């Protein structure tokens, strides 16, 4: 090829390159306008423009971007993501209520951190050392007292009952009155438990603090006191565990019902979204048919170990156009989507 021919070929290539770049810029501009309009149509069609008040944020949003040679990505934020938190095992509301109750209990005496009573601590340590040295009948009584003490199990059951009641309140299965009734009941049972714990501590202090052998009469009295306390603690434990089990069963049922309802709401939301994608596929006419429309439903995917994933639906623009033309239905378009969580 001559030098002149090579120059002519180079000029033609540069000219064609300029034309292609101009076309690409025009396509990008058209896509920017199309994606913005398409996202606003989806947002309006899904009812995500609703506001609770004049200055309140919208209930959701749809935001789009274009990835060259891949297609349009639409990020959909909806109320379904926040509603999902209402039936999780440990909702934020229940956790905050429990934390607030703990702070209130700690600060009821007007101080954030109570001042340690060193004399009581020294006496407790001394009593513990004497208990370790106790022999014979005193040792047997202390062992029996340790077996009787189920206060930790009772406290755990009462806390479980309160947590389940708060879950039911968050799931709207309990109104304020029902929640307050359960909390008052658990508070009354805690007061009983506190009295039993005080009696146990008094017995432990007396038995562990003995420096001389206990008389048979006093040993019999102590055993009677232990049996009485044991019966009271067993009764309280049974009541607390029964109440906790009943409330947990109610919370589990309410949570399962709310989750099933939410799944139906998600299915309806996706069906409405597919209908809009079908009806307004022409809004992305600048998108090459071989590229894709990817819908990212924020927070609606699987629950992973570290986070809640997004639900992703990937559609071919060609299939969306077929739906617009009536060759397939919106339901069939949904069936062509590649769906996964990420």
CATH architecture of 117-258: Up-down Bundle (1.20)
Could you give the angle at the alpha carbon of 154 between the alpha carbons of 153 and 160, nearest 5°?
90
Q: What is the pLDDT of residue 31?
A: 84
Domain ranges in the chain are: 37-83+280-341, 117-258
Q: What is the pLDDT of residue 21?
A: 46
List helix spans (H) across 73-135. 79-83, 92-106, 118-133
Q: Which residues of the chain have pLDDT under 50?
A: 2-23, 90-98, 100-101, 103-114, 116, 118, 121-123, 125-126, 129-134
CA-to-CA distance for 303 and 206, rounded, in angstroms? 54
- Residue 311 three-state SS: strand
Residue showing tokens 């806390």 = 159
Residue showing tokens 């009462």 = 158
Between the alpha carbon of residue 190 and those of residues 13, 35, 101, 196, the distances in Å are 87, 60, 14, 10
Residue showing tokens 């506001």 = 51
CA-to-CA distance for 229 and 117, rounded, in angstroms? 27
User: pLDDT tens digit string along 157-202?
Assistant: 999 999 999 999 988 889 999 999 999 999 999 999 999 999 888 8
Which contacts of 65-68 are long-range, i.e. CB under 8 A and separated by 24 or more positions? 65/35, 66/28, 66/31, 66/32, 66/35, 66/287
Q: What is the pLDDT of residue 249?
A: 96
Q: What is the pLDDT of residue 285?
A: 87
List helix spans (H) across 118-215. 118-133, 136-148, 151-170, 176-208
């Amino acid at each position: 090829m001559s030098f002149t021919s090579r120059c002519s070929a180079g000029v033609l290539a540069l000219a064609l390159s300029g034309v292609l770049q101009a076309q690409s810029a025009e396509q990008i501009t058209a896509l920017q306008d199309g994606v913005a309009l398409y996202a606003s149509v989806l947002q309006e069609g899904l009812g995500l423009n609703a506001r609770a008040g004049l200055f309140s944020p919208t209930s959701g949003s749809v935001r789009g971007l274009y990835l060259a040679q891949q297609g349009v990505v639409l990020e959909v934020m909806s109320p379904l993501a926040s509603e999902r938190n209402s039936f999780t095992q440990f909702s934020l509301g229940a956790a905050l209520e429990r934390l607030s109750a703990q702070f209130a209990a700690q600060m009821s005496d007007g101080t954030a951190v109570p001042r340690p009573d060193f004399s009581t601590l020294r006496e407790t340590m001394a009593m513990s050392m004497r208990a370790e040295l106790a022999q014979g009948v005193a040792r047997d009584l202390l062992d029996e007292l340790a077996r009787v003490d189920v206060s930790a199990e009772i406290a755990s059951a009462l806390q479980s009952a309160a947590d389940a009641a708060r879950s039911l309140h968050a799931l709207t299965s309990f109104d304020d009155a029902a929640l307050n009734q359960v909390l008052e009941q658990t508070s009354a049972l805690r007061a009983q438990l506190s009295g039993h714990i005080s009696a146990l501590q008094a017995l432990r202090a007396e038995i562990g603090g003995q420096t001389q052998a206990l008389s048979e009469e006093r040993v019999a009295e102590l055993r009677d006191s232990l049996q009485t306390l044991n019966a009271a603690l067993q009764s309280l434990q049974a009541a607390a565990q029964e109440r906790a089990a009943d409330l947990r069963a109610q919370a589990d049922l309410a949570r399962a019902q709310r989750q099933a309802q939410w799944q139906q709401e998600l299915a309806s939301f996706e069906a409405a979204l597919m209908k809009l994608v079908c009806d307004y596929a022409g809004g992305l006419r600048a998108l090459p048919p071989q590229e894709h429309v990817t819908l990212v439903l924020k927070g609606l995917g699987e629950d992973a170990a570290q986070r809640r994933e997004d639900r992703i639906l990937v559609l071919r623009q060609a299939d969306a156009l077929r739906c617009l033309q009536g060759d397939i239905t919106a339901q069939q378009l949904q069936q062509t989507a590649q769906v996964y969580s990420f």
